[in-house]
């Protein structure tokens, strides 16, 4: 299956709109620049198309299976993962002293879109291992970094995150996995973890599990949880993998999609011989894991962009080639154009959303001014649940429209849209369901600080919109977004007044997130359109002019056709209706 992506849109969003080159002004990225970033993007896209994409259909059809108690991956995955690590793609934004490239997270995010779009099942080996590496880079001891990090950044070893347990689900504080300290300073780990992505496979010589467990005697709930490194194989004196570490594969899930991503039920310490090593301070595990969880939530939003973007590109090509009645190309029908423009608008808006959030990561982590870092961290806190929930929900809507564009052919496996849809559905479920993300936004990110961060962010984007208002073509669009911001602000005030009523707030949470998501996406596209308009007069070729005009038209379409859904969601927020709470279900 060919991987398709609008690379010109990726580059325009990164370099023309978000000005990714500005990051080389930060001390962390000195000596870098657009040429380097462009080179990494070129090579990673080439690799994704030539090496990763051929795994996609094969992985979906063959899936994973258990052979002699271990997961056996489809043919080809191991060779590609090895090449992926050798090319440095596993650790693009990690520190160079641990074999990373030391590039911005923004560039890694773009590369991740290519890998995910080419083959979602393969991409999880990258996303989880890279996320583990970043967490270990932040919190592990130097000895642990040298032992584990240097081998994971190259892809020699892969990683997992082990939070969920069968009886606990999303209530991480209810976990029962235990850790008992041994005389040598290690810990004996015992418990079960479920839904562990890439939890067992035959692609790497060791799998490094990052496991949440409670040391005997520590507090109940999340405050008593610690984080442990638990290798699937114990290490020999020379650091090479040795004997099994009593991590048992119980089963793999048979899933709707991402069939070549082994989702495992693991038993730790079934024989009482599972050895783990504490990361950082005892009982600080949730604080550490939140870094990985938040990164994973951004990555899930990026999954929505990657798969929906690929689905749209295939649907677009099909519409340009398929005739109706042997005469008229279906792309000439207005309703088909409406569907395609809706797909294009969501894909480009979500790409802007994910990329700008990645830019916030770089500025929030690496800007030399502490006040600036704090400001961007506050913006990122608001963006994270929106990226995860809005990105996955609207991405799924795009795949649905892609199938509709194909007509009956979209429903069969001869065409790729149905696989993209199946592979993407999980994104609204894992890393905290989208309802949990909505509650996080309205509860922890809005109500807990009396709305100050939200107010600051809305003031910021209103100011940014005013800066492009001078361009006559965009002035009506700016006015409509600013009006929507005002209505949303009034709705947020109404939410604040009912903060004590948890049930009412719960009913408002998803409409709140979706209204916010539409406003964010609309203003991003209009701001980007302003950049395109400035370049239109300087463009040398008809192809480039058509591309730039497309940025303007997609902004118009989003504001006129999709942003009105904000009013529907605001009406839901302001409604006094509580019928969903009635005792009739």
The whole-number pLDDT of residue 292 equals 87
Is 183 contained in some domain? yes
* Residue that terminates a domain, selected from 284, 305, 322: 284
The whole-number pLDDT of residue 10 equals 98
Is 301 contained in some domain? no
Residue 145 belongs to domain with CATH number: 1.10.540.10
Residues 541 and 438 in one domain: yes
Residues 508 and 558 in one domain: yes
Total domains present in the chain: 3
Rounded-to-integer distance, Cα 230 and Cα 178, Å:
13
Note the pLDDT tens digit of each residue in 202-242. 999 999 999 999 999 999 988 999 999 999 999 999 999 99
In this predicted structure, the answer to whether residue 64 has a pLDDT above a threshold of 70 is yes
In this predicted structure, the answer to whether residue 168 has a pLDDT above a threshold of 70 is no
Name the percent of the chain lying above pLDDT 70.
99
Note the pLDDT tens digit of each residue in 401-412. 999 999 999 999
Q: What is the mean pLDDT of residues 270-283?
A: 97
Residues 148 and 241 in one domain: no
Residues 132 and 181 in one domain: no
Rounded-to-integer distance, Cα 270 and Cα 374, Å:
45
Helices 417-425 and 120-139, packing angle to 10 deg: 30
pLDDT band at 448 (very low <50, low <70, confident <90, very high): confident
The whole-number pLDDT of residue 253 equals 96
pLDDT band at 169 (very low <50, low <70, confident <90, very high): low
Note the pLDDT tens digit of each residue in 474-515. 999 999 999 999 999 999 999 999 999 999 999 999 999 999
Residues 218 and 273 in one domain: yes
Catalytic residue among 43, 313, 431, 502: 431
Residue 483 belongs to domain with CATH number: 1.20.120
Note the pLDDT tens digit of each residue in 183-192. 999 999 999 9
In this predicted structure, the answer to whether residue 1 has a pLDDT above a threshold of 90 is no
Residues 213 and 244 in one domain: yes
Question: Three-state secondary structure along 254-309?
Answer: CCCCCCCCCEEEEEECCCCCCEEEECCCCCCHHHHHHHHHHHHHHHHHHHHHHHHH
Note the pLDDT tens digit of each residue in 322-341. 998 778 999 999 999 999 99
Q: Give the domain range for residue 185.
A: 159-284
Name the percent of the chain lying above pLDDT 90.
92
225: phi then psi, degrees, rounded to nearest 5: -95, 135
Which tokens hold the place of 527? 């701001």
Note the pLDDT tens digit of each residue in 541-565. 999 999 999 999 999 999 999 999 9
Question: In which residue are the tokens 């911001």 written?
Answer: 485
What's the Cα-to-Cα distance from 500 to each of 458, 489, 503, 505, rounded to whole Å? Answer: 24, 19, 9, 8
Residue 238 belongs to domain with CATH number: 2.40.110.20
Which tokens hold the place of 224? 């008593």
Rounded-to-integer distance, Cα 253 and Cα 259, Å:
9
Is 74 contained in some domain? yes
Residues 13 and 142 in one domain: yes
Question: Three-state secondary structure along 519-563?
Answer: HHHHHHHHHHHHHHHHHHCCCCCHHHHHHHHHHHHHHHHHHHHHC
* Residue that terminates a domain, selected from 284, 312, 333: 284
Q: Work out the mean pLDDT of the chain and round it to a whole number.
A: 95
The whole-number pLDDT of residue 551 equals 98
Residues 188 and 261 in one domain: yes
431 catalytic per annotation: yes
Residues 16 and 82 in one domain: yes
The whole-number pLDDT of residue 534 equals 92
Residues 209 and 278 in one domain: yes
Is 342 contained in some domain? no
Instruction: Calculate ∠ Cα 572-573-574, nearest 5°.
Output: 95
Q: What is the mean pLDDT of residues 155-184?
A: 88
In this predicted structure, the answer to whether residue 170 has a pLDDT above a threshold of 70 is no
């Amino acid at each position: 299956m060919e991987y398709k992506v609008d690379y010109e849109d990726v580059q325009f969003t990164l370099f023309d709109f978000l000005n990714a080159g500005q990051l080389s002004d930060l001390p962390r990225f000195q000596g870098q620049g657009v040429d380097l970033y462009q080179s990494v993007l070129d090579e990673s896209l080439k690799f994704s198309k030539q090496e990763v994409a051929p795994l996609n259909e094969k992985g979906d059809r063959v899936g994973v299976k258990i052979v002699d108690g271990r997961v056996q991956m489809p043919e080809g995955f191991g060779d590609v993962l090895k090449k992926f690590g050798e090319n440095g793609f596993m650790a693009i934004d990690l520190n160079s002293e641990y074999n990373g490239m030391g590039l911005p997270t923004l560039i890694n995010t773009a590369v991740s879109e290519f890998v995910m779009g080419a083959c979602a099942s393969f991409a999880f080996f990258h996303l989880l291992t890279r996320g583990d590496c970043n967490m270990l880079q932040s919190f592990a001891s130097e000895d642990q970094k040298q032992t584990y990090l240097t081998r994971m950044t190259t892809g020699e070893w892969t990683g997992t995150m082990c939070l969920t347990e069968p009886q606990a689900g999303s209530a991480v504080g209810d976990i029962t996995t235990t850790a008992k300290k041994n005389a040598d300073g290690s810990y004996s780990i015992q418990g079960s973890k479920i839904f562990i992505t890439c939890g067992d496979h035959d692609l790497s010589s060791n799998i490094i599990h990052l496991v949440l467990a409670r040391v005997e005697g520590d507090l109940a709930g999340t405050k008593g949880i610690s984080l442990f490194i638990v290798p699937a194989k114990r290490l020999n004196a020379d650091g090479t993998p040795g004997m099994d570490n009593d991590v048992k594969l119980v089963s793999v899930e048979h899933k709707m999609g991402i069939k070549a991503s082994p989702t495992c039920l693991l038993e730790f310490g079934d024989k009482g011989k599972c050895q783990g090593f504490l990361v950082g301070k005892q009982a600080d595990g949730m604080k550490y894991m939140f870094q990985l969880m938040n990164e994973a939530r951004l990555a899930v939003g990026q999954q929505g962009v990657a798969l929906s973007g690929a689905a749209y590109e295939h649907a677009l090509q099909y519409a340009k080639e398929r005739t109706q009645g042997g005469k008229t190309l279906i792309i000439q029908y207005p309703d088909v154009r409406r569907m395609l423009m809706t797909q294009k608008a969501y894909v480009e808006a979500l790409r802007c959303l994910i990329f700008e959030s990645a830019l916030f990561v770089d500025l929030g982590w690496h800007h030399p001014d502490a006040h600036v870092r704090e400001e961007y961290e506050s913006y990122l806190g608001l963006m994270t649940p929106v990226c995860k929930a809005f990105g996955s929900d609207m991405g799924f809507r795009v795949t649905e429209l892609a199938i509709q564009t194909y007509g009956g052919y979209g429903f069969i496996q001869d065409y790729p849209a149905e696989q993209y849809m199946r592979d993407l559905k999980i994104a609204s479920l894992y890393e905290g369901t989208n309802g949990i993300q909505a509650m996080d936004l309205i509860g922890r990110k809005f109500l807990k600080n009396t709305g100050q961060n939200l107010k600051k962010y809305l003031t910021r984007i209103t100011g940014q919109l005013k800066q492009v208002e001078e361009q006559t073509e965009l002035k009506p669009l700016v006015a409509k977004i600013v009006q929507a911001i005002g209505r949303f602000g009034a709705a947020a005030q109404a939410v604040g007044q009912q903060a004590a009523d948890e049930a009412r707030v719960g009913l408002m949470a998803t409409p709140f997130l979706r209204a916010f998501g539409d406003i964010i996406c609309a203003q991003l596209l209009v701001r980007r359109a302003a950049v395109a308009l400035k370049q239109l007069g300087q463009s040398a070729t008809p192809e480039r002019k058509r591309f730039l005009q497309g940025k303007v038209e997609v902004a118009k379409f989003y504001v006129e056709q999709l942003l009105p859904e904000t009013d529907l969601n605001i009406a839901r927020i302001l409604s006094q209706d509580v019928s969903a709470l009635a005792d009739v279900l």
